[in-house]
Every structure is written in structure tokens, then in C-alpha cells.
Amino acid sequence: METKKQTIGKIILSVILAIVSIAWLYPIFMILINSLKQERAISTTTVFTLPTVETFNGLKNFKEAIFAQGFASAFGYSFVITVSSLVLIILCCSMCAWYITRVNSLFSKVVYYMFVFSMVVPFQMLMFTLSATADRLNFDTPYKICIIYLGFGAGLAVFMFTGFMKTIPVELEEAAMIDGCGPIRTFFQIDFPVLKPTIISVSILEAMWLWNDYLLPYLVLDRKKYTTIPILIQYFKGSYGSVQMGPMMACILMTVLPIIILYLSMQKYIIEGVVAGAVKG
């Protein structure tokens, strides 16, 4: 049975976590209520109050964000970047982790530690050289920037895939090879399906980063032609250079909702994947 001291400790911890949760949810709530207000209500002290009959603006801010400010095209470019980069990261990094764990050599160990080291290198150390290199290689489109994202996302992905791959018995692959499977077929028919928990975990973590990233598209993309959602939010302008707060709030809300829904629906897989990958990692 729990002692009185343990019960009090759990209550205190619950209260602290509840306060932290409210603090995290409060900004989202503020964005929601202000996305439904008129412009004049957001610019005054009523920014912290719920919409009233006088200040309620309906869905006009959302229509303005989608049709007048270019949210639809920015959403499309962000979606293309996120999906293409995610596919490359999952395929290339899972195969790399398979090679690292199955080929026990000095070269594979050096490759693994290089990927691990890349996770601690600040992006600011590379951004100017990266920007110049991407410009020379014509990587300034949403359809090519995924190659750059592959390099930056590979560290975490290889680390997690390698940890989980070590838990897969080699005997499964040996049995497949006896049945006539080559290395590629063995990987995609035997190992890749088993990697499902880690694939989901890596996908969610990388998707959150790719969807919300601002600095890399800002440095690499041709902003006169292509604008992602984070860049669009920065340049939300009205007449005479003013910032349209209502449509901006609506745009931010439409941006965060997909990733929040994805995270809440898949959060249990994140824990499963991380724990599974840490067994022998």
C-alpha cells in the first residue's frame, strides 16, 4: 500500500504537470480565439478575451489566409518538402543502419559514429557554406531540398534504426537467404516490416521538424517563387506594410493543427520505437 507521503507526492506532481500543460496549451488557445476576431479587437487590450458579438469575425480570417495570402500554395510546398524528405530519410537511413549492424567492420563503426556526431553539430556552423553550395547545385526548389534534409535528418534516424536493428535476429535473414533471397529482397521483406515501430517514431519526430523548419528553406529556396508556411507567416502583410493579425492567427492555427493531430494519434508509437531502439543501442 502507498504511504501518505507517496500519495501527497503524487498529488503535488500531478498539480505541477497540470500547470505545465496549461502553460503549453495557453498559446494555442490564444491563437484560436484571436483567429475568430476582427482585426481591431486583436490590436487592442481585448486580445486576451473571448470573441463577442461585436468582435466575432467568423471564418473570414481563414478565407483571407487561404485565398488572399497564398496559404494554399505554401501548404503545398511544405507538404512536398516534408513527404519527399521523410521518404528519403526512412529508406536511406534504414538501409544504412542495416549495413552498419550487419557488416561488423572498422569502416561501418566509423560511419556510425560520424552519424552520431552530426547530431551535435550546430546548424549555424554550416548554414552559410551550405547556402552557397545549394545555390551552385541548383537545390533551391522544393523538389530538390529533400536531399539536404536527408543529410541533416540522417543522424537521429540512423541512431534509432541502428539500435532497433541490433534486436532483430540474424537467423531470420539467414533463413531468407537459404530460400533464395538476395540482400535487397531480404531487407525489404524481412527487416523492413519488423522496423515498423521505429519507422513510425522516426517519421513523427522528423515530420515535426521538417514541417516547422524555417531557417533551411529561408536560406536555400528561391523565395520569389517558393514559400513554405513558416516563411509565409513571417511575411504576412496587409496594406501599407501592416501586419494582418487575424489572417496570420488563422494561418498559424491551420499550420499547427495537422502536426498536433498527427502527434496525438501516434504518440504511443514514439515511446515504443524509442524504447525498442534503446534495448541494445
The pLDDT tens digits of the residues spanning 227-268 come to 888 888 877 765 455 677 788 888 888 888 888 888 787 777
Lowest-confidence region among 19-33, 39-53, 95-109, 247-261: 39-53
pLDDT band at 40 (very low <50, low <70, confident <90, very high): confident
For residue 139, the SS3 value is: coil
The pLDDT tens digits of the residues spanning 100-147 come to 988 888 998 899 999 988 888 888 888 888 888 888 888 888 888 999
Question: What is d(CA 74, CA 221) in angstroms, rounded to the nearest whole number?
Answer: 12
Average pLDDT over residues 26-55: 78
Question: What is d(CA 1, CA 247) in angstroms, rounded to the nearest whole number?
Answer: 55
Q: Looking at the DSSP assignment, which residues form a beta bridge with residue 37? A: 56
Contact 262, 204 (CB under 8 A): yes
210: cell is: 521538417
Q: Which residues contact 13 (CB under 8 A, 6 or more apart)?
A: none
Lowest-confidence region among 84-88, 145-149, 168-172, 215-219: 168-172
Scan for cell 521538417, then name that residue.
210
The reply to whether CATH 1.10.3720.10 applies to domain 61-277 is yes
For the chain, which residues make up each domain, given as ranges? 4-59, 61-277
pLDDT band at 2 (very low <50, low <70, confident <90, very high): low
Helix, strand and coil percent figures for the chain, each rounded to 5: 75, 0, 25
